[in-house]
Amino acid sequence: MRFPGSTPPLTSPSLPGKSRNSTVLVVAIVVPIIVVVRLFIAGYCFFAKRAKKTYGTAPALDDDKTTSESLQLDYGAIQAATNDYSEDNKIGRGGFGDVYKGTFSNGTEVAVKRLSKTSEQGDAEFKTEVAVVANLRHKNLVRLLGFSIEGEERILVYEYVANKSLDNFLFDPAKKSQLYWTQRYQIIGGIARGILYLHQDSRLTIIHRDLKVSNILLDADMNPKIADFGMARIFEMDQTQQNTLRIVGTYGYMSPEYAMRGQFSMKSDVYSFGVLVLEIISGRKNNSFNETDDAQDLVTHAWRLWRNGTALDLVDPIIVDNCQNSEVVRCIHIGVLCVQEDPVKHPAMSTISVMLTNNTVTLPAPQQPGFFVKSRPGNTPLDSDKSTTSKSFPVSFDETSISDLYPRLLVEYGSIHPANKKHICVGSLGLAKGLGSLPGSQ
């Protein structure tokens, strides 16, 4: 009961700002916690994805720049994909080991290159191939999907190319008829574009050093893909040449200045391309000649026919009646330009690409090619550190003027144009700066 004049009882005063301050405090604490948790989850997912090894599947390479770490695959999955490297799955042999077809559990077909355990240069070539190929993106280059290091095992996993290598068709009497002229011409153009990418359009200036028919793979549509980068070297952007005491490659495709003096450059690949062109046109191996033949190799043979004005005699008999003569002779012309003795005279791949696609471009008269005596029989791969004992020497021909050749070609074959006068050099390992050491390597 309240009496008049009495003082009202004391009560706690109402604080209108207290509730609002409490809410702000809660928000200030909770929101950062939520943000931190979300960032942690996102970071965990990101790094877990990068660190994850692919078990039973091949990785998708969609990034502009792929590191070697992101390509490492589980060895057990590769072993299972090839049925423990079954002989039934063997599809070929590269310069440093066997190649097997594999199928991962998700159905992805791959080509697995298993480096030989006895190869002294195995690790170096393995690391070169991973470092160089990991970031190459071109339709005329075979794509590296991953690798694995397990004890002494060194494994490279590539996209599977259905029709295997070009030599399986070109030098097989039962299959070479499938390579009609239009297809051979497209293959020559595709190889040229792939080499041009290596020399000029990729992030790194890359010299392949082992271009040959067995290193040209054909996909299901018979498009060529350059493979096997175990001997590749990386040049600085302004670098034009390098010397080495270690001569690697395949006799018959090696330019004389490289075989003799260990000098290699983009022009070394151009020489190899020239030999490839002559092989594709003729359907003959460069080393298919013997002592009873007038010429010691295909380069010599092609040059003599060119000098005699009978270039079409070089053409594979299977396609000779179904090819465009002027187009074929133009390709032979490009081939002999590429194998001239003086590497300075070799056209650049950019020029060759124009020559192949624009028949209005006048080609220069080729000079005599460089020939050398082989100290080893056949197209023998080199994988030692010793210099080759091959010697270069000029071959004498009759003094028929090169200008006399063109009128005969013009009359016999149709329209022929008259002649007119990034990066780190990484040494033998081939590892580019910035890629770092390979996971699991010592």
Give the residue numbers annotated as catalytic, written as ranges. 210
Nearest of 236, 214, 239, 242 to residue 227 by alpha carbon: 214
How far, CA to CA in Å, does 33 sit from each of 24, 93, 134, 172?
14, 58, 40, 70
* Rounded Cα gap, residues 253 and 235, in angstroms: 21
Nearest of 104, 99, 235 to residue 161 by alpha carbon: 99
Extended beta strands in 35-160, E state: 90-94, 97-103, 109-115, 144-150, 153-159
Angle between helix 349-357 and 181-196 (nearest 10): 150
Long-range contacts of 243-248 (CB under 8 A, 24+ apart): 244/428, 245/385, 245/387, 246/384, 246/385, 246/387, 246/428, 247/382, 247/386, 247/387, 247/388, 248/209, 248/210, 248/381, 248/382, 248/383
Q: Which amino acid is at 311?
A: A
Tokens describing residue 76: 């057990």
